Amino acid sequence: MDNIGSKDSKLKIEEEENNDIKIQVWKYIFGFVEMAVIKCAIELKIGDTIEAHGGLMTLTELSSSLNCSPLLLHRILRFLIHRGIFKEEPTKSYAQTPMSRLLTSSGAHSLAPMHVLESSHVMLAPWHNLSAYLKANDGGSQPFEMAHGKDLWRYCAANSSHNKVMNEGMASFARVVIVPAVLERCGGVFEGVGSLVDVGGGNGSCLSVLVKAFPWIRGINFDLPHVVSVSQEYEGVRHVGGNMFDFVPKADAAFIMNALHDWDDEDCIKILKNCKEAIPEKTGKVIIVEVVIDEKDESMVSDIRLMLDMIMMAHTIKGKERTREEWAYVLQEAGFSRHTITPTSTIQSIIQGFV
């Protein structure tokens, strides 16, 4: 009887484990739903509307303000509340949460532009070409080019609307997530830096935050001409158009954030060599803000880093997130004598390369 009971118990455990696995697979199958529903909430401006009405709204009030079906809106809100995005008060009113505030479509602390970018049809289409790209054994076009006939950078140059979405999305990610983490943990890296060139700095909003935090810095925002030509003016920041593969403007230090991961090692080394030529021979340094992959780390943060590596594969020409060893290689090949890596409170680290 004991053996029978033991077998039954073992079978029950195996059955529960199989059910858990199936549920996990279902979540992968329907993983796109969360992105799509959050995009819907951003487009409807649910969070903005609740905030504008004092932070609490009933379903009737909200549906009336948004000109939406109350029955459909209730189902959208039920889904989002289950994920901690919005909450329902005992008064049957809806309110914001810290997560929903990050996804409002306006405000200095909004990540909505980044979500709008990644959920756009332009950025989603390349994912359908991922397997074809792998089968080509690096001999064919990359997924973005397969989908749109040109790479991401040429597409942005030719499509002003997506270029705007791209710049706003990347700027929000930098402004809300990366720069605060850099200032919190690594503000000391900017001590003694009189001039700083932000290589691939986008619209300059990131550099403007650094210059405001460290007012002794003269900022040079360096990016492609079609990017800087539509950038607003910031105090202490000068926009310069050009190509980082050709040159980098002279400065005490070069700052590169989320740009080197867009390129393979050969191109990465070329960019870093141009940075090295732009900074003083004895005191110059390059300050890199990028992901550092740790293949042994099984944390949620590490999982996001691996997701970003997949995004590089889908959206760039041989771009990738790098391990410590891979960062050491490109910095050494570019002529930097030593480097340090300092983790931050977010997914990126600060990598300093010294001449």
CA atoms within 13 A on the CB side of 38: 25
Single-letter amino acid code for the residue at 265: D
* Distance separating alpha carbons of residues 94 and 261, to the nearest angstrom: 40
Q: Which position among 239, 261, 315, 339 bears the catalytic label?
A: 261
Contact status, residue 133 vs residue 142, Cβ threshold 8 Å:
yes
Nearest to 271 by CA among 282, 281, 284, 256: 256
CA distances from 163 to 16, 159, 195, 229 (A): 49, 6, 28, 12
61 carries an active-site annotation: no
Single-letter amino acid code for the residue at 163: N
Q: Which residues pair with 93 in a beta bridge?
A: 58
Q: Which position among 115, 239, 290, 315 bears the catalytic label?
A: 290
CA 288 to chain centroid, in Å, comes to 15
Contact status, residue 200 vs residue 259, Cβ threshold 8 Å:
yes
Q: Which position among 115, 162, 321, 339 bears the catalytic label?
A: 321
281 carries an active-site annotation: no
290 carries an active-site annotation: yes
Give the three-state DSSP class for 222.
Answer: strand
Please list the active-site residues: 261, 290, 321
